[in-house]
């Protein structure tokens, strides 16, 4: 799903940063799973569980920051150094029970407790403390079931029977997984054997856990937690109390219906509570000196051997092989070896040739054709893949090499700023040649760019948070009226700003540059068109142009060709605009309009205000929009 990075926070503490891969972050289910993980881990408060320090689930790259646990997982520790023994094993059992108590008190089911999700962290005294990690598939008790019918999530070797049956999953499933994890730590093997997936699941459903392979002091504790019936298993709190009573040096077991305490001496001799000594080879020495062998035979002090009828029949030799007559097996017949001519076997002197030892080639290990088993396969009990030597295949016929397409070539995507600048220069140059028509076209273009940028921006933000949806086209259609209203309001505010900028340029060209009224007005129109994209408020039209170029141009070659085309076009239009006169169609030249307005103005009126108002009214009437100004 992702990758975990080691980082430092603002206090220089080491933290673990879990980041989803980009192709996974676009999946809604993956984001929901990460959200559930963060919400679950934040509800658990325990030193035995990795705490969440920070998270960002709505950005383009979702991640969570947790406590960094230096050390190895329990799976790595057992596979590399062997099973845990003695106090290390009891410490692991108690620590996992404490973590499970905290998890269940937060009304949470971990659901994937296994050796790979348990870290052994050094506590500074040379020993290790267990730490539970990875709530990737944990869910709340009252949450909706994650899986569909006939499917489940988890590691096969550590699943509870109710998960395989697809019945109601409770916190008792974590108790079953905890006992299986402790069994693996004590033996280095999965509790339900190795083999195929079906065989492991069958052993789980039938309750065939290999508890006898665990240390004797741990067997009763494991049998309680690995019960097939979920209601018969103890809770995490009860299991914690039982784990505190575990003692590797003293074992309590039942034999013949009487509870007997067994202490083991350094030489291997065990002394029972009634004084009976059990030697290392299994022989029992009673208080009166009688020795009881492993087959049930009693050896008295005078050497007499007596068969003990009290010994269970299962411990006797029931083969009765000593009562059967001996069998004489016939030696297999061998085929006579062909005699060779003595003249061929002996040299000329009649003596056999000297013995020459055969040369033995050096040992070469077979090639590894199969990959090593995955960690989950080793924990779940799957056998390692067999090394198989494939049969040699005949060489294929020669064929000339062909160029292979690059599969992992990154997508070409850039904003093309040079091309956008050339397009704007072309539009500004055209405004000098056709001031009225190009200015009106620029206003409509800016309005359309604002609408498109609003729709595409909202769609991209929605997809970055929730992923792609089939309802996106319908949302775009329904959102068009509101986007058009916002674009009209923004354009109505932005156009007067561009007009003021054009008036300033007209005044500078007319009175400082000495240009004519019409020539200064042409440059003012060009400044107005450029201001629609460059003045404050023109960021969204620019963004829309950059997104359109990035979506249309998909290769560097196409970008170079389009850049050369617009560069040539911009050069010729700008050079023509500098030398030719402007065409004011469908309006009259501004100088003629100003002369008519000045002649028609009466004395005592505000000439400047009436002049500007008259110019605007005359322009609107000429382009067919006079009804907006009352004409």
Residues 6+ apart with CB under 8 A from 388: 369, 370
The 3-state DSSP class for residue 52 equals strand
Segment (H or E) for 80: helix 74-81
Q: Left, alpha or beta for 337 (phi > 0: left; psi -120 to 50: alpha)? A: beta
Please name which of 178, 162, 153 lies closest in space to residue 231, comparing C-alpha atoms. 162
Check if the beta carbon of residue 211 is closer than 8 Å to that of residue 203.
no
- Let me know if 112 is a catalytic residue: yes
| Residue in 11, 56, 81, 112 annotated catalytic | 112
The 3-state DSSP class for residue 168 equals coil
> What is the C-alpha to C-alpha distance for residues 579 and 594, in angstroms, rounded to an integer?
24
Residues pairing with 20 in the sheet: 2
Residue 143, Cα to own-chain centre: how many angstroms? 22
CA 165, 167, 169, 172 dihedral sign is negative
Q: Is the peptide bond before 586 cis (omega within 30 degrees of 0)?
A: yes
Q: E-strand spans in 267-317?
A: 270-272, 277-278, 284-285, 291-292, 297-299, 305-307
- Beta-strand relationship, 2-8 and 52-56: unpaired
- The DSSP string of 6-47 is EEE-TTS-EEEEEEE-HHHHT-HHHHHHHHHHHHHHHH---T
Taking CB atoms within 8 Å and a gap of at least 24, the contacts of 623-629 are 623/436, 623/440, 623/586, 623/587
Q: Rounded to the nearest 5 degrees, what angle is found at the Cα of 118, between the Cα atoms of 117 and 120?
A: 145
Please name which of 40, 237, 31 lies closest in space to residue 142, comparing C-alpha atoms. 40
Check if the beta carbon of residue 114 is closer than 8 Å to that of residue 134.
no
Active site residues: 112
């Amino acid at each position: 799903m992702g990758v975990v990075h080691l980082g430092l926070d603002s206090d220089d503490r080491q933290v673990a940063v879990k980041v989803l891969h980009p192709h996974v972050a676009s999946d809604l289910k993956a984001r929901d799973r990460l959200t559930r993980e963060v919400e679950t881990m934040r509800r658990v408060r325990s030193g035995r569980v990795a705490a969440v320090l920070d998270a960002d689930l709505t950005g383009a790259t979702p991640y969570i920051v947790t406590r960094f646990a230096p050390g190895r997982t329990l799976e790595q520790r057992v596979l590399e150094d062997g099973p845990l023994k003695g106090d290390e094993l009891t410490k692991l059992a108690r620590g996992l029970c404490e973590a499970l108590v905290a998890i269940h008190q937060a009304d949470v089911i971990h659901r994937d407790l296994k050796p790979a999700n348990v870290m052994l962290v050094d506590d500074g005294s040379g020993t290790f403390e267990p730490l539970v990690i990875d709530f990737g598939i944990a869910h709340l008790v009252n949450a909706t079931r994650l899986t569909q019918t006939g499917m489940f999530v988890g590691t096969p070797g550590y699943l509870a029977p109710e998960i395989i049956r697809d019945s109601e999953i409770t916190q008792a499933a974590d108790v079953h997984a905890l006992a299986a994890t402790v069994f693996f730590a004590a033996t280095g093997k999965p509790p339900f054997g190795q083999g195929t997936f079906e065989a492991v699941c069958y052993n789980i459903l039938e309750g065939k856990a290999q508890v006898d392979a665990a240390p004797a002091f741990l067997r009763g504790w494991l049998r309680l937690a690995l019960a097939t019936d979920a209601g018969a298993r103890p809770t995490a709190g009860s299991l914690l109390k039982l784990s505190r009573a575990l003692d590797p040096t003293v074992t309590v077991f039942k034999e013949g219906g009487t509870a007997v305490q067994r202490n083991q001496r350094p030489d291997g001799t065990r002394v029972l509570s009634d004084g009976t000594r059990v030697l290392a080879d299994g022989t029992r020495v009673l208080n009166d000196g009688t020795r009881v062998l492993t087959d049930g035979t009693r050896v008295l002090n005078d050497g007499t051997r007596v068969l003990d009828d009290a010994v269970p029949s299962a411990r006797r030799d029931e083969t009765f092989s000593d009562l059967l007559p001996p069998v004489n097996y016939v030696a297999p017949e061998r085929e006579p070896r062909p005699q060779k001519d003595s003249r061929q076997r002996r040299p000329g002197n009649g003596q056999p040739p000297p013995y020459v030892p055969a040369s033995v080639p050096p040992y070469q290990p077979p090639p590894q054709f199969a990959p090593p088993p995955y960690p989950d396969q080793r924990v779940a009990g799957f056998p390692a893949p067999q090394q198989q030597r494939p049969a040699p295949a005949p060489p294929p016929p020669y064929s000339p090499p062909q160029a292979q397409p690059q599969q992992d070539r990154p997508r070409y995507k850039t904003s093309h700023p040079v091309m956008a600048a050339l397009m704007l220069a072309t539009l500004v140059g055209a405004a000098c040649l056709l001031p009225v028509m190009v200015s009106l076209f620029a206003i409509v273009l800016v309005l359309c760019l604002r609408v498109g940028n609003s729709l595409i921006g909202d769609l991209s933000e929605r997809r970055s948070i929730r992923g792609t949806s089939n309802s996106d086209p319908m949302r775009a259609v329904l959102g068009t009226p509101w986007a058009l209203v916002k674009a009209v309001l923004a354009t109505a505010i932005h156009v007067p700003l561009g007009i003021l900028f054009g008036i300033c340029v007209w005044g500078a060209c007319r009175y400082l540059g000495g240009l004519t009224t019409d020539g200064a007005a042409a440059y003012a129109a060009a400044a107005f068109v450029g201001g629609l994209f460059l003045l404050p408020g023109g960021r969204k039209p620019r963004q829309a142009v950059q997104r359109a170029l990035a979506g249309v141009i998909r290769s560097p070659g196409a970008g170079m060709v389009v850049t050369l085309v617009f560069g040539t076009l911009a050069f010729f239009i700008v050079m023509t605009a500098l030398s030719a006169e402007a065409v004011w169609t469908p309006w009259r030249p501004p100088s003629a309009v100003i002369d008519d307005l000045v002649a028609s103005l009466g004395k005592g009126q505000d000439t400047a205000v009436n002049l500007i108002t008259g110019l605007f009214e005359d322009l609107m009437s000429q382009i067919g929009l006079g009804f907006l100004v009352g004409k």
